[in-house]
Structure formats: C-alpha cells, structure tokens
Amino acid sequence: MAERVLVGMSGGVDSSVAAALLVDAGYDVVGVTMKLWGGESDSGCCSVSDVDDARWVAAELGIEHHVFNFGDEFTQHVVQPYVDAHRSGGTPNPCIECNRHIKFDLFFDRARMIGFDRIATGHYARVAELPDGTFRLRRAVDPNKDQSYVLHMLGQDVLGRLLLPIGGWRKPELRAEAERRGLVTAAKPDSQDVCFITKAGGREDFLEARGGLTPGVIVTESGEEIGAVPATELVTVGQRKGLNVSGMGEPQFVLDVDLKESVVTIGPRRSLRVAETGFAQPVWADESFEGAAMVQASAHGAAPPALVEGDRVVWDTPRDRIAPGQSLVFYESHPDGDLVIGGAIAT
C-alpha cells in the first residue's frame, strides 16, 4: 500500500510542483491549504485566490484538497509575538515562527492524528539520512532559493517523516516543469512579504493599530542628542537609512535601540563590529552542539565561520552586530557545509 502524504499547498508554483512530483512518485497524496491570516492582506498570501489556485491544481492532479483553519493559533504564536518583539526592541522573523509553530508543529500533528505517514511542503531544502540513522536538514541545490535557514528548527521527529520534493530543483527549471504540466500556477509570482503586513501601510500602520508607536531621540556614542525618530519600535540595529542625520563626517549606523528610554544610539561602521554574538533558545537537529560551525544570520546571507561556545557565537573575523530577535543558524563546519546543526535567537 502506498504511503499517505499530506502536502501543504499554498497556491504557489513551488508547492504545486511538489504535489505533482509526489503523485508521480506513487504516493497517496492529499493537498491541504492552511488558512492563517484573516485580516487585511495585499501580499498575495493567505488570500481566497490562493486557496482557489491550490484547489485548481489539486483537481488537475486528481487529488483531494482540504483547508485547515489555523487562524487563532497563527495570531497566538506568530502575530502577537511579532508585535511584542517590536515593543521590546527585537527584530523578529515571523516566517520562522510560522514554520516552528504552525507548518511543522500543528500541521505535522494534525497529519499524524488523521492517519498520514508523512508530510510534504514546497520548501527549497533537502532531508539527508546519515549513516547512524539520524536525519539532518540540508541546503537546497539552488543557492538563490535555499530555505534551510527558515526551517532550521526541525527535529528528528519531523525530519524522519518529511518530504521536500523540490529541494533538488532550480527555480527556472521548476517553473518550466509547471508550464509543461499546464499547472495554473506556472507563472504566478513568488510571495516575498509577510502575509499580515500590507504593502500600503507596512509595519508602521500595523504596529500603530496595535498599541501605538513611541517617538525617540537619536544620540551619538558619547550621549550627544543629534536627532529624533518618529517610532523607536521601527528602528533596527545595523540600520543606516532613514535616520535623517547629517554632518557626521562618515556614514552612521544604529548601534543600539533602548525601548524603555526611547533612545537610539548611532555610530560609525567600525563601532558596529563585534567579536561575538550571544544567543538564547537554541534548538538542535539531534544532540546539543559546541564547536566550529558556519553561522548564517539572515535568510539569504553568507555563513561565515565561527565557534559555538555555550550561549554565544565567537566569530573568526569580527562582523556587524546582529539585531536581537534574528535567528542564527548553524551549519557543519567547512566552506561547502550544507547540513544544519541547529539554530538560536540572537540576543
């Protein structure tokens, strides 16, 4: 009997092709679209049209399609923590929290509860089984689309039952495959934005409507007040643009954001450099880890070498300070390292 696979179908081209490949491979496939955000959205995610597109593709593939409503859980685990993080001076990544709590927790649990053997998604990453029988998340073949960074929290229970059919594909090839199959999503643009933040209003309108924003002052490293910001909650460590300061002689960057005092400290690039970065809430693919690793601090950034020691990362070469709340993801230690060891939240 074929293994039963519940595949998440967002209504985009990636998950559409993922579902098609699973059908080709002989799995007993059922598609599910997760309804997450019920508020205002113009990002092309969580919309009625996305559900319709997923349903159309499922019909073309001859598989069942259902909708799971995780709206309350999404607000609790993703939206509210996003708001809270900004109010405490953090710079959160809501897509990571959505993967952590919704797409690979609630969805995985629901799949097991209703009798499915595996789950699958259209993420660009791969699952590797090591000689000792443990599993690791692995970077995708396409470095421009690799999503292992935002899936770093996956542990053995999920990895052992997860299928990522498009991890070995490059995006142009995948779109060509969708077109060859005549899938309605073949030319659909990728969704790049946070689904609950509108392009028109942005973070400013979203946070303003959920408790207001706090004006603040800009000071130099010596404490001299030289400017102001309309909303301290919208300022991020490492930010350069939008500070409206001049006559400083060299470019200025945000070094620190103090939400309690509504103070933003700025300074030259050299003052942004740090030798180490603290972290909290580590998660590991298998056992806890210390030692040499390649450490990535943004979704599509570089992964420079470092040492993981206790609750800190010691960089081989000083690098720009990382905004608190961002994720640090640890990969195996060599220049081509593509296996995820784990990850944590920068402090």
Catalytic residues: 98, 195
DSSP per-residue letters across 130-177? -TTS-EEEEE-S-TTT--GGGGTT--HHHHTTEE-TTTT--HHHHHHH
User: CB under 8 Å to 66, separation ≥6 — which residues?
Assistant: 30, 31, 32, 33
Question: Beta-strand (E) ranges in the chain?
Answer: 4-8, 28-35, 64-69, 118-120, 125-129, 135-139, 162-163, 216-219, 225-229, 253-258, 263-267, 273-284, 291-296, 305-309, 312-320, 327-331, 340-346
Phi, psi of 297 (to 5 degrees): -120, 10
Structure tokens at 112: 């097991």
Instruction: Tell me, rounded to whole angstroms, the distance of Cα 95 from its chain centroid.
Output: 4
Only one residue has tokens 């597109």, namely: 53
The answer to whether 274 and 324 have CB atoms below 8 angstroms apart is no
Q: Which residues in 232-249 are b (16+ Cβ under 10 Å) and which e?
A: bbbbbbebeeebeeeeee
DSSP state of 98: H
| 266 three-state secondary structure | strand
Phi, psi of 156 (to 5 degrees): -60, -35
Cβ neighbours of residue 180 under 8 Å, at least 6 residues apart? none
Sign of CA dihedral 83, 85, 87, 89: negative
Among residues 257, 331, 278, 238, the alpha carbon closest in space to that of 87 is found at 257
